[in-house]
């Protein structure tokens, strides 16, 4: 697989004719930013403005953003922008001074977690939160072995990238990482039992190689493995297995957290488990870089005694003011409940379309995280045609899964009935042409 094929929906140079100005920009971009970046879509998208669920190009054309989970309360939400600007114009400083807002926010956010998870540390990115979780897990367990799913993504640091098999051959080698298959997505099998058995097999391999377990890291909606949401609770036996072996369970909530699944504020809660640590990021600042790790006090105690933690920008005053505004909006606008309702309506519409189609064989997900499994002779190519076809209809989504054959639909949580209507009209048309 070439490096571009390793990411579903990556732009492949030369495949589409770009406008002269975009072509020139692309050339300068490649020259200045180098070879490691990827763009989305056959014809790259060039937005200049965002509002709510809509992104606008230079000509003022509106595109429905059905993909961006960062702008969870909607692009450029005025209250978020105002809170960010107000704090930035007053004071931006770090966690080595006493500040009210970080403590107020920490207490407020922690109240949405089970009581055991009562401490929080701030970072700038989800990668840093996972990297920190790994360091803490190693100190707590005195182990180094990590279990992740086969197409997981956990971030960009050396440690987090090694825990990200979805990077393909580019993932740094690390003999402490043990990969297990993602959930099967098949309704007729015992998903919980299969997943537990896979964790135990990895634990046996670790033992055989003399490696002590540190943690099982799971993105609780399996965003890059292909989106596996059901049956609820299927993670529980696997979590029990890692704990029985002396390891910890880290829930990576960078994607499923902050009301995304509609059913619970945090994805792990759908599985009836209480993690030892929870990482979060992306939607937390609606675009401002702010992320965090929530921890059980007994898990962090040794780490805190052995070392200090200071992250220059993590938890800075403006980051916290921004995150506070996002967190207030999620609750005041009832986004958990709204996400549940519109997510249900969305899947019902998709199921209606799927009935008469030989293109879709499964619809998975919860709330506004939806995976549509594409079938046929070359599902990857079909998925790509659908994603690019939708882009032509001014609807933005992408693809997921190791084979790039799952439509990944994950709009801002303020996605409403009008947006759904726009989406389904475009989707029907694209599906007919496929």
Instruction: Catalog residues that contact ligand PMP under the rule CB under 6 A.
Output: 125-127, 130, 153-156, 219, 223, 252, 254-255, 281-282, 291
Question: How far apart are CB 188 and ligand PMP at their closest, in Å?
Answer: 28
Measured between its terminal Cα atoms, the distance across the chain in Å is 24
**Nearer of residues 279 and 373 to ligand PMP, judged by Cβ:** 279
Question: How far apart are CB 74 and ligand PMP at their closest, in Å?
Answer: 20
Question: How far apart are CB 259 and ligand PMP at their closest, in Å?
Answer: 16
In 188-217, which positions are buried (b, 16+ CB within 10 angstroms) versus exposed (e)?
A: eeebbebbbebbbebbeebeeeebbbbbbb
**Nearer of residues 206 and 254 to ligand PMP, judged by Cβ:** 254
Question: How far apart are CB 219 and ligand PMP at their closest, in Å?
Answer: 4
Q: Residue 186 burial by CB count (10 A; 0-12/13-18/19+): exposed, middle or buried?
A: exposed
**Nearer of residues 409 and 420 to ligand PMP, judged by Cβ:** 409
**For the chain, how many residues are written?**
434
**Residue with the shortest CB distance to ligand PMP:** 126
To the nearest 10°, report the CA torsion of 70, 76, 79, 85.
100
Question: How far apart are CB 339 and ligand PMP at their closest, in Å?
Answer: 18
Question: How far apart are CB 166 and ligand PMP at their closest, in Å?
Answer: 9
Bridge partners (DSSP) of residue 374 are: 360
**Nearer of residues 254 and 360 to ligand PMP, judged by Cβ:** 254
**Nearer of residues 76 and 156 to ligand PMP, judged by Cβ:** 156
Q: Which two tokens stand for residue 41?
A: 């879509």
How many CB atoms neighbour CB 418 within 10 A? 10
As a whole number of angstroms, the longest Cα–Cα distance in the chain is 62
Which region, left, alpha or beta, applies to residue 185 given φ > 0 means left and ψ of -120 to 50 means alpha? left
Measuring CA to CA, which residue among 134, 175, 176, 136 is closest to residue 157? 134
**Nearer of residues 87 and 398 to ligand PMP, judged by Cβ:** 398
Question: How far apart are CB 6 and ligand PMP at their closest, in Å?
Answer: 15
Question: How far apart are CB 376 and ligand PMP at their closest, in Å?
Answer: 28
What DSSP assignment string belongs to 360-401? EEEEEEETTEEEEEE-SSSHHHHHHHHHHHHHHTTEE-EEES
- CA 274 vs. chain centroid, Å, equals 19
Q: Which residues contact 429 (CB under 8 A, 6 or more apart)?
A: 393
**Nearer of residues 18 and 156 to ligand PMP, judged by Cβ:** 156
Measuring CA to CA, which residue among 291, 430, 298 is closest to residue 360? 430
Question: How far apart are CB 156 and ligand PMP at their closest, in Å?
Answer: 5
What DSSP assignment string belongs to 69-111? SSSTT-BT-HHHHHHHHHHHTT----TTS--HHHHHHHHHHHT
**Nearer of residues 389 and 402 to ligand PMP, judged by Cβ:** 402
- Please check whether residue 233 is in contact with residue 310, taking contact to mean a CB–CB distance below 8 angstroms: no
**Nearer of residues 294 and 354 to ligand PMP, judged by Cβ:** 294
């Amino acid at each position: 697989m070439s490096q571009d094929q390793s990411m579903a929906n990556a732009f492949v140079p030369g495949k589409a004719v770009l406008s002269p100005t975009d072509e020139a920009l692309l050339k300068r971009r490649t020259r200045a930013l180098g070879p490691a970046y990827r763009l989305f879509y056959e014809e790259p998208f060039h937005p200049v403005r965002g509002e709510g669920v809509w992104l606008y190009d230079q000509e003022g054309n509106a595109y429905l953003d059905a993909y961006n989970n960062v702008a969870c309360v909607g692009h450029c939400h005025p209250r978020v922008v105002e809170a960010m600007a107000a704090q930035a114009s007053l004071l931006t400083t770090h966690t080595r001074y006493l500040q009210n807002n970080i403590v107020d926010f920490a207490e407020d956010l922690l109240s949405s977690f089970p009581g055991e998870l009562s401490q929080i540390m701030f970072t700038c990115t989800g990668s840093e939160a996972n990297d920190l979780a790994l360091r803490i897990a190693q100190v707590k367990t005195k182990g180094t072995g990590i279990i992740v799913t086969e197409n997981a993504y956990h971030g960009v640091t050396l440690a987090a990238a090694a825990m990200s098999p979805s990077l393909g051959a580019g993932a740094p080698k690390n003999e402490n990482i043990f990969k297990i298959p993602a959930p099967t997505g098949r309704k007729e099998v015992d998903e919980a039992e299969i997943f537990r058995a896979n964790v135990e097999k990895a634990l046996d391999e670790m033992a055989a190689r003399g490696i002590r377990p540190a943690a099982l890291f799971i993105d609780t909606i399996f965003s890059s493995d292909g989106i596996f949401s059901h049956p609820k609770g299927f993670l529980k036996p696997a979590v029990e297995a890692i704990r029985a072996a002396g390891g910890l369970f880290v829930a990576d909530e960078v994607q499923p957290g902050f009301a995304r699944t509609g059913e619970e504020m945090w994805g792990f809660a759908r599985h009836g488990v209480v993690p030892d640590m929870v990482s979060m990021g992306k939607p937390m600042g609606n675009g401002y870089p702010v992320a965090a790790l929530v921890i059980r006090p007994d898990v962090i105690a040794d780490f805190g005694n052995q070392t200090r933690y200071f992250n220059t920008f993590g938890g800075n005053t403006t980051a916290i003011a921004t995150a506070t505004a996002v967190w207030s909006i999620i609750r005041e606008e009832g986004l958990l409940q709204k996400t549940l309702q519109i997510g249900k309506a969305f899947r019902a519409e998709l199921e209606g379309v799927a009935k008469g189609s030989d293109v879709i064989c499964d619809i998975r997900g919860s709330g506004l995280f939806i995976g549509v499994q594409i079938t046929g002779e070359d599902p990857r190519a079909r998925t790509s045609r659908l994603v690019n076809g939708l882009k032509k209809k001014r609807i933005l989504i992408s693809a997921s899964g190791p084979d790039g054959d799952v439509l990944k639909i994950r709009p801002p949580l303020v996605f409403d009935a009008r947006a759904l209507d726009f989406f389904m009209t475009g989707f029907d048309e694209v599906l007919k042409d496929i």
